[in-house]
Structure 1
Amino acid sequence: MSTIMDKPEITMDVFEKHESKVRSYSRSFPTVFKKAKGYKLWDVNNREYIDFFAGAGALNYGHNHDKMKELLIKYIEEDAITHSLDMATMARGEFLKKFNQVILKPRNLDYKVMFPGPTGTNTVESALKIARKVTGRNTVISFTNGFHGMTIGSLSVTGNASKRGGAGIPLNNSVFMPFDDYVDSGSSLDYIEAFLVNSSSGVDLPAAMILETVQGEGGINAASYEWLQGIEKLCKRFGILLIIDDVQAGCGRTGTFFSFEPAGITPDIVCLSKSIGGYGLPMALTLIKSKYDIWEPGEHNGTFRGNNMAFVTATEALKYWETNNFSQEIAKKSEMMSAFVDFLVHEYPQLHGEKRGRGLMQGVACKNGEMSEQICENAFKRGLLMETSGPEGEVFKFLPPLIIDEEGLEKGFQIVEDSIKAVLDK
């Protein structure tokens, strides 16, 4: 039986000729990839690449995880259920049991699990909808540099002007407030509170506030735990639901399963996607405090709100969280990354570098987007995948699979430093 590996090689001109101009990552990484394993990929020329991109955070457990692959193949071979909308299946039930046992109960979290559709923007849309249904209010407060997805509701709470412009219509019922350190002087908490207490501020009492604890696309801006605690207090004081978008920062990316755990807060609604499926298969969850789960049956639905193959691999991925060992490994590698970022900022002042991020989600903000883009381009030529982030693409961003070993990190760091030297020596 022939496989994809046996077929004639595909070249980049196929994509140029047949695919829409909207494609982006194939422009950033202009080669045809053929194989991936762990934290590495190979192209059709058998060139090896270290992955500091991880599917934009969808591959926390690496490429083609052995046990997940074995279970997935077995599931398919047994003619088990592939498509089922939200009908009850064995795979769905096993995931729900495991998620409750390994993630929710140990953290004393009382959430109902909703499967809103396969992607991050689907979970955000459902979160906004249930918050408005619960409170009877329309407005949602979001934050500067936040990114929450590409559908209309998600775009309405996304800050990026070019992304918002793509909607082609006015984006309403949202108000933007300054993220933690967006303003240099004064507390943004005081600023937000001033709008909420003043009935003449022009800001209606919102249904919800939505935020990322670490802004993945907005520049790897990490909110302080004190600020997150302050936001939760404001939400409780004014009867506002707190939505944490953990699509990219969750599933262990910052060290704990949920990125908000170290802050000691309990959001009313949590959005998960990307790595929740374990293997890179489409899957999303919306976690809703039980008292707010007031949906009518079928009130929010969709054809692909139950990816059974993703349930299989997601259940296996949860085994990483049965003990604290995985978190401790992430913490150790995060310290390595943090030390490397500090080194770059100190050693290469020409970058005008600023340290960003938390856990295995860090980066360096350069003086401009052009420099950051050149560093990423140079790194790709040397065998490393990484992308830019921030309003002007000014941050080069490290997002490796969480399972990467120390040797892989060190090799990646060396490529990054060599790329910086090459760009600065021009």
Structure 2
Amino acid sequence: MATAFSPSKFAAQPFPLNTTSQNNPLTIPTIASPFLGSTRKLIRLCSSSNLNLRRRSGTVVAVSDVVKENKSKSTPNLLITKEEGLELYEDMVLGRAFEEMCAQMYYRGKMFGFVHLYNGQEAVSTGFIKLLKQQDSVVSTYRDHVHALSKGVSARAVMSELFGKTTGCCRGQGGSMHMFSREHNVLGGFAFIGEGIPVATGAAFTSKYKREVLKEVDCDHVTLAFFGDGTCNNGQFFECLNMAALWKLPIVFVVENNLWAIGMSHLRATSDPQIYKKGPAFGMPGVHVDGMDVLKVREVAKEAIGRARRGEGPTLVECETYRFRGHSLADPDELRDPAEKAHYAARDPITALKKYLTENNLTSEADLKAIDKKIDEVVEEAVEFADESPVPPRSQLLENVFADPKGFGIGPDGRYRCEDPKFTEGTAQV
């Protein structure tokens, strides 16, 4: 049975080439960027060798086709119910309010190190993660707070982790870039780009192994691997796409393309800026979706997660989104064009969902204001809880580092070796 991502239905389209460049392959044409809202132009070298590559067929899907097909199957014209809409709205508002509070706490000296906020990208996290089951896994990046919240980790646990307190989801030892929760199957944030993709691929392999080798027939767990556009030029990305397609692993590779890798424009950093077209090269569907629209993201996510759960293999989904702040809270954000920032700010995903819900009579302004108030209280309480929680004892420093920390900084008496005067003299007993 053909699905919305069926290879028989869609084929890759070549980049638009102007007449001059086709007649003279050495001409460098200026081509309008394929991205939804980019105000920039893409300079591409068109040689006769890469023209053939562009015309290769593959499973490349336009999101409009997926949404159109799914809408036609439902009796009403609405993509969601009232309950679903309010759940999406609450999760997105939680992510935004939490991150705004993080900025305040960072500048007040409550958090340390690098803190990367998710403002503007909420439609991606909510659109995908709220469709998962408890047993499904999420692997994140250094911009991981909101992924953890969407998967069910409490605001208390995430805020406490950011404060470096024992009540944090990693007992204060992970910090902003390393959110982890075994209970919620959040398999970590990763400070270095690309590090999480092999972990996610391994988690997906585990699901397949349990089902096919250990005969756990009820194991239909799916893994989501989140990463950014800057990661897509790294080796782990290509290796894991190949492995996932080869073994038909139940994984969805979710590219959060916010168009900038720190201060490097995506259009200047890659030979082919349309990341989703890399999927068919490995035999998997590639999908581009407006990552500022949670309903479009959700429709694509339904099909991609469904394919993985049915054993039909991986999907590469490129979500074009935008972060409303600098790369981190230490970034003054002076490199991006103000017009570009204004363009995406006008397409705020929370504002768009709010408009959809009210215009389609799915909810009222009063209901949404009640959710806003509830979330404000949740975030305020999370800060109070984190602030009042204890800091980790010094004895916790080497826990989860060595199986037996004695001999590695801690003496037989349980004291730190550096506290022994004989240690610095070189006469301490080892």
| TM-score when normalising by structure 1 | 0.30
Q: Which has the higher strand share?
A: 1
Kindly name which structure, 1 or 2, has the bigger radius of gyration based on alpha carbons: 2
